[in-house]
Structure 1
Amino acid sequence: MWVGLILAVAALVVSSFVNAVWQLIILQGIIYGWAGGMVYIPVVFWLPDWFVKHRGLAGGIVMGGTGVGGFIFPLILNALLYRVGFRWTLRIWALIFAVAAGPSVLLVNPRVPLRKHEKGTPRPSVLPKELPFFRDWAFWMFSLVNMLQALSYFPVSLYLTVYTTSLSSERSSAAVLSVFNIACIVGQVFIGWLCDRMAYAWISTVSQLGSAIVAFLLWGYASNVGMVFGFAVLFGGLSGGFASIWQPAATDCAGTRGELQPYIFGLFATVKGVAAVIGPIISGEMYDDRNAGSGGRYGRFGFGEMEIFVGSLALATAVVSAVLGVVRVKVKRPVY
């Protein structure tokens, strides 16, 4: 974690001195991304060790941190960019990151201390010798659920502000984005709390069915800012909180092999990462900027195809989740 923290801070500082886009891609897109993963992944690995009874709630709170960052950090960065410019913003942000993350790294530890490697003994493998969850239907079904959900979520997170600006103003779009991120925080914590009490597959079914309904109706027919705010609250809470389901799903897929949970969680994150790459490409193709100034009853400002796409994928996510819930009850899972 310390290596990741140092690399992240260094990438931010060095980025403030570069003059070419390709240099920023390497520093911000690659090195900073890797470093952030090195800081974040141990938290995911060690979380199941510390929480059993309230594991879903704990995971929801951890995931809710992304929503807090999404709400607070843009406000700070925009203020810094306006006052001190791009280069000093990166340097100040590097300092903030170091001061905020440093104490956290000190406090994050595994419940069972890691054993030091003894000379003369073989080093433990980075990956387990067997990954039996690849033979488990539940893992593949939830991976499909995860992919579909992410593809339905990213178009909204990327284009909701564009829609709001077309309907109203940039100030309103900033407010909608803030409300959307706050709703995601609440949704992540609440869904995490629910996962400690209900089967995660049915939580996914209900949340994604609700996401489909608000996408088809509330976003599709949104003709004023109030409707957009309502959509941001409902979709942000229902779909934005989906990542809190990862922890109980990983626990289920791991079966009696609890040590496999972090690897499964990491694969879920990888699936979402693939969707994060594909999603913007699909969204860009569906957004019809030629009709950005047009009105109409449904699908205003060139967003009709995107709204149908988001609603359809959310509905597909709900259907696959329901199948997972039914089959999960009827079929006994393998014992690893």
Structure 2
Amino acid sequence: MALELEKSAVEPRGLRSNDRDEKDAEAGFAPSAQPSPPSGDSTSTNQEISYPEGGLQAWLVVLGAFCGTAASIGLYNTSGLFEAYMATQLLPNESSSKIGWIFGIYAFVTWFLGVQVGPTFDAVGPTMLMLAGSICTLGGIFSLSASIEYYQIILAFSILTGAGTSLLFNPAVASVAHWFDERRGFASGIAWIGSGIGGVIFPLMIQSLLPQIGWAWSLRAFGLVLFVLCTVSVTLCRSRVPPRNGLDTTWRDAIPSARIFFDGTGAMALTTAGAVLTDLAYYIPMTYIPSYYIARQQLSSEDVLTGKAAFAYQLLAIANGSSCVGRLLAGYISDRLGRYNTMIVSLFLCAASVLCFWLADILSPEVVNIGLLIVFVMLFGCVSGSNVSLLPVCMGQLCDTRDFGRYYATCFSVVAFGALISIPVAGALIDAVDEPGKKKFWGVAVFTGLCYVAATLCFVWVRLRVKGFSWKTKW
């Protein structure tokens, strides 16, 4: 079976180098951004990758990736509930900035480990990586259920669960790229919907269980759901494109290389910068939406576990539910209008949603109705979900599929440093604003909006640098 997959993944090529560049240009790649194959690498110079673009096996991989992103990024998107509970119940005497480091370190570990996970996926495939990720994720959640001290939470959630998240979602997302090319945006969008579904179900599940069985047993029940999702994901996710060096692949082929940033165009470097700013901004509202609602409604710490605070967690579910729509639509549209084109529109709408709706709600003390907040949550969830799922698809246009894991993971290892400071900086901004209720969040909203504006400019620069000023060009 493995031999048949390898034969179907590559076809004889026999093209001259300039013919290869013309073919790349027609497909939407920048020829100068393509990696030069190693000398003597007959696999990359004499063979061309083909893709099924569908079929039972391919869609089962998408289903596996769906479950993998649900168990990993779905958990990532549930951080808002954890932050609200920890700030009011587990660690009520700690500052917002110090609590922010719990989630900053978690995000950092999630993205930074990708620097090795991605290249290892290129060399050996997803199965063992995802199995290790499942063990770390489950071990982290069950350990968190018994943690009461700050350092225990850091070890259980930030380190162990963060490692599991990275080992799960990186191979899951990369697996889809082995089965789709022309329909990669749509297929990746479906896979990424899993993270939105997880972000809808998990907060509602834990919030409903908390008053009945408490924090520890709620997390243990949550762990059982993650176990099912991880099992399905590990079973179904498969790679297909053989390693660049075939049977000669060694551990050296899994070593990351900073050379991908020096492609002669600056496209990968600016795309990575845009990704850093995007993730730095995205994680802030997704973490602080419940806390913002609790502060906005002036609820006490005793109300956090009761029905009065239920809508705080439902807002998080609404944001994640809206992200499912955004990811599916963005994937479909990007295959037709271009991945970078769609990404630029998505980032612009993120900036508009934060600065025009969230900031407006914060600075309007006379507005008691939560309609403006709901509009922000729905719009932000939709457009931010789409730019998260489009990031790996955009990077896929800058490299050979056999190098996708290396490019994707190296980029997000840089993104990790933005994620590391994101929540601590946001917490420090909240602590620095000496205003009552919801007004203390105005600095956070301005910071988030400006990060999205800067990210938009990065992607516009790459689009203009590679394809010029004609927006009719699909790219």
Paired position in structure 2 for 1:103 = 232
Query: Does 2:385 correspond to 1:240?
Result: yes
Paired position in structure 1 for 2:418 = 275
User: What's the offset of the Cα at 1:152?
Assistant: 2.3
The one-letter code matched in structure 2 to 1:185 is: C
Counterpart among 318, 324, 328 of residue 466 in structure 2: 328
Paired position in structure 2 for 1:258 = 401
Distance 1:201 1:271 in 2: 20
User: What's the offset of the Cα at 1:198?
Assistant: 2.2
User: What's the offset of the Cα at 1:51?
Assistant: 1.1
Q: How does 1:167-182 map to 2 (within 5 A)?
A: 167-168=296-297, 170-182=309-321
Q: How does 1:1-336 map to 2 (within 5 A)?
A: 1-16=130-145, 20-111=149-240, 123-127=250-254, 132-136=259-263, 137-168=266-297, 170-222=309-361, 223=367, 224-254=369-399, 257-287=400-430, 288=432, 290-293=434-437, 301-330=439-468
Residues 125-154 of structure 1 show CA distances to partners (whole Å, capped at 9, x for unaligned) of: 342686652212111010111112222222
Deviates more, 1:168-177 or 1:221-230: 168-177
The one-letter code matched in structure 2 to 1:154 is: Y
TM-score, reference length from structure 2: 0.61
Residues 147-192 of structure 1 show CA distances to partners (whole Å, capped at 9, x for unaligned) of: 1222222222222333323333633323322211111221122212
The one-letter code matched in structure 2 to 1:276 is: A
Asked whether the 8 Å contact 1:195–1:248 carries over to 2, the reply is: no
Asked whether the 8 Å contact 2:192–2:327 carries over to 1, the reply is: yes
The one-letter code matched in structure 1 to 2:346 is: S
* Equivalences, count: 320
Residues 20-61 of structure 1 show CA distances to partners (whole Å, capped at 9, x for unaligned) of: 543443233222322332233221232211111210111112
After superposition, the Cα gap between the structure-2 partners of 1:291 and 1:138, relative to the gap in structure 1 and judged at 3 Å, is same
The one-letter code matched in structure 2 to 1:155 is: I
After superposition, the Cα gap between the structure-2 partners of 1:219 and 1:79, relative to the gap in structure 1 and judged at 3 Å, is closer
Distance 1:138 1:302 in 2: 38
Distance 2:144 2:447 in 1: 37
Structure 1: where are the runs of 5+ without partners?
294-299, 332-336
Residues 258-309 of structure 1 show CA distances to partners (whole Å, capped at 9, x for unaligned) of: 211112111333333322221112212222553123xxxxxx6123222222
Deviates more, 1:273-282 or 1:22-31: 22-31
After superposition, the Cα gap between the structure-2 partners of 1:184 and 1:113, relative to the gap in structure 1 and judged at 3 Å, is same
The one-letter code matched in structure 2 to 1:232 is: V
After superposition, the Cα gap between the structure-2 partners of 1:86 and 1:132, relative to the gap in structure 1 and judged at 3 Å, is same
The one-letter code matched in structure 1 to 2:447 is: F
Asked whether the 8 Å contact 1:133–1:253 carries over to 2, the reply is: no
Q: What SS does the corresponding residue of 1:50 show, helix, strand or coil?
A: coil
User: What's the offset of the Cα at 1:320?
Assistant: 2.1
Q: What SS does the corresponding residue of 2:199 show, helix, strand or coil?
A: helix
After superposition, the Cα gap between the structure-2 partners of 1:148 and 1:192, relative to the gap in structure 1 and judged at 3 Å, is same
After superposition, the Cα gap between the structure-2 partners of 1:278 and 1:21, relative to the gap in structure 1 and judged at 3 Å, is closer
Asked whether the 8 Å contact 2:260–2:268 carries over to 1, the reply is: yes
Deviates more, 1:11-20 or 1:24-33: 11-20
The one-letter code matched in structure 2 to 1:241 is: S
Asked whether the 8 Å contact 1:5–1:35 carries over to 2, the reply is: yes
Could you tell me the percent identity over the aligned residues? 24
Asked whether the 8 Å contact 1:163–1:301 carries over to 2, the reply is: no
After superposition, the Cα gap between the structure-2 partners of 1:23 and 1:167, relative to the gap in structure 1 and judged at 3 Å, is closer
After superposition, the Cα gap between the structure-2 partners of 1:12 and 1:317, relative to the gap in structure 1 and judged at 3 Å, is closer
Asked whether the 8 Å contact 1:56–1:247 carries over to 2, the reply is: no
User: What's the offset of the Cα at 1:314?
Assistant: 1.6
After superposition, the Cα gap between the structure-2 partners of 1:166 and 1:200, relative to the gap in structure 1 and judged at 3 Å, is same
Structure 2: where are the runs of 5+ without partners?
1-129, 298-307, 362-366, 470-475
Distance 1:142 1:310 in 2: 18
Paired position in structure 1 for 2:73 = none
Distance 1:301 1:129 in 2: 44
Deviates more, 1:149-158 or 1:135-144: 149-158
User: What's the offset of the Cα at 1:91?
Assistant: 3.3
Distance 1:164 1:19 in 2: 25
Q: What SS does the corresponding residue of 2:439 show, helix, strand or coil?
A: helix
